[in-house]
Amino acid sequence: MVTLVGDARRLVPRTDAILADPRLVAAQGRLGRSLVREAVRQAQHRARQGEIGPDEVADAAVAALPPLAASLTRVLNATGVLLHTNLGRAPLSAAAADALTAAAGCTDLEFDLATGSRGRRGAAMLAALAAAVPQAEAVHVVNNNAAALVLAATALAAGSEIVLSRGEMIEIGDRFRLPELLASTGARIREVGSTNRTTVADYAAAIGPQTGFILKVHPSNYRVEGFTAAASVADLAKLGVPVVGDIGSGLLAPHPAVPDEPDAASWLRAGADLVTASGDKLLGGPQAGLILGRADLVSALARHPLARALRVDKLTVAALEATLTGPPTPVARALASDPAALAERAAALAGRLAAAGIDAGPVASQAAVGGGGAPGVPLPSAAVSVPESLAPALRTGPGVRAGRHPAVIGRLTEGRLLLDLYAIGPAEDEALAEAVLAAAVLAAPVLAVDGDRPASGNGDRPCR
Ligand SMILES: *Cc1c(COP(=O)(O)O)cnc(C)c1O
Which residues 6+ apart lie within 8 Å of 138 measured at CB?
130, 292, 293, 294, 295, 298, 299
pTM for the model stands at 0.91
Range of the domain at 27: 5-64
Nearest atom in ligand 1 to 217's CA:
13
Whether 394 and 306 map to the same domain: the answer is no
Whether 32 and 160 map to the same domain: the answer is no
Report how many domains make up the chain.
3
Nearest atom in ligand 1 to 287's CA:
7
CA–CA distance, 354 with 452 (Å, rounded to integer): 13
Burial of 208 (0-12, 13-18, 19+ CB in 10 A): exposed
The alpha carbon of 172 and the centre of ligand 1 are apart by a number of angstroms equal to: 6
Q: Which of 89, 170, 172 maximizes ligand 1 atoms within 8 Å of its Cβ, making it the mutation to test the pocket?
A: 172
353 domain-assigned:
yes
pLDDT in tens, 136-152: 999 999 999 999 999 99
Whether 377 and 303 map to the same domain: the answer is no
Whether 126 and 267 map to the same domain: the answer is yes
pLDDT recorded at residue 9: 60
User: Atom 15 (ligand 1): residue with closest C-alpha?
Assistant: 248
CA–CA distance, 228 with 167 (Å, rounded to integer): 9
Whether 9 and 152 map to the same domain: the answer is no
Whether 302 and 238 map to the same domain: the answer is yes
User: Atom 6 (ligand 1): residue with closest C-alpha?
Assistant: 145
Nearest atom in ligand 1 to 246's CA:
13
Nearest atom in ligand 1 to 288's CA:
7
Q: Outline where DSSP puts E strands in 229-308.
A: 243-248, 274-278, 289-293
Q: Which of 85, 145, 244 maximizes ligand 1 atoms within 8 Å of its Cβ, making it the mutation to test the pocket?
A: 145
Q: What is the CATH number of the domain that holds 407?
A: 3.90.1150.180
Which residues 6+ apart lie within 8 Å of 276 measured at CB?
145, 148, 149, 152, 244, 245, 246, 247, 289, 290, 291, 292
69 domain-assigned:
no
Whether 318 and 387 map to the same domain: the answer is no
Whether 244 and 192 map to the same domain: the answer is yes
Whether 124 and 226 map to the same domain: the answer is yes
pLDDT in tens, 174-196: 889 999 999 999 999 999 999 99
453 domain-assigned:
no
* Residue where one domain finishes, among candidates 280, 304, 328: 328
251 domain-assigned:
yes
The alpha carbon of 365 and the centre of ligand 1 are apart by a number of angstroms equal to: 27
159 domain-assigned:
yes
CA–CA distance, 159 with 27 (Å, rounded to integer): 56
pLDDT recorded at residue 343: 98
Q: Which residues line ligand 1 (CB under 6 A)?
A: 144-146, 172, 217-218, 220, 246, 248, 278, 289
Whether 98 and 143 map to the same domain: the answer is yes
CA–CA distance, 433 with 425 (Å, rounded to integer): 13
Contact 351, 361 (CB under 8 A): no
286 domain-assigned:
yes
User: Atom 1 (ligand 1): residue with closest C-alpha?
Assistant: 248
HSE-up of residue 243 (Cα within 13 Å, Cβ side) = 24
Q: What is the CATH number of the domain that holds 277?
A: 3.40.640.10
464 domain-assigned:
no
Whether 194 and 213 map to the same domain: the answer is yes
pLDDT recorded at residue 462: 38
441 domain-assigned:
yes
Instruction: Tell me which residues of the chain have a pLDDT lower than 50.
Output: 1-3, 448-464
Local structure of residue 219 (DSSP, 8 states): -
* Residue where one domain finishes, among candidates 277, 307, 328: 328
The alpha carbon of 291 and the centre of ligand 1 are apart by a number of angstroms equal to: 13
pLDDT recorded at residue 8: 54
Whether 179 and 288 map to the same domain: the answer is yes
Query: Could you tell me the CA-to-CA distances from 261 to 165, 236, 272, 284 in Å, in that order?
Result: 19, 19, 16, 15
The interaxial angle of helices 145-157 and 295-302, nearest 10 deg, is 100
CA–CA distance, 88 with 70 (Å, rounded to integer): 15
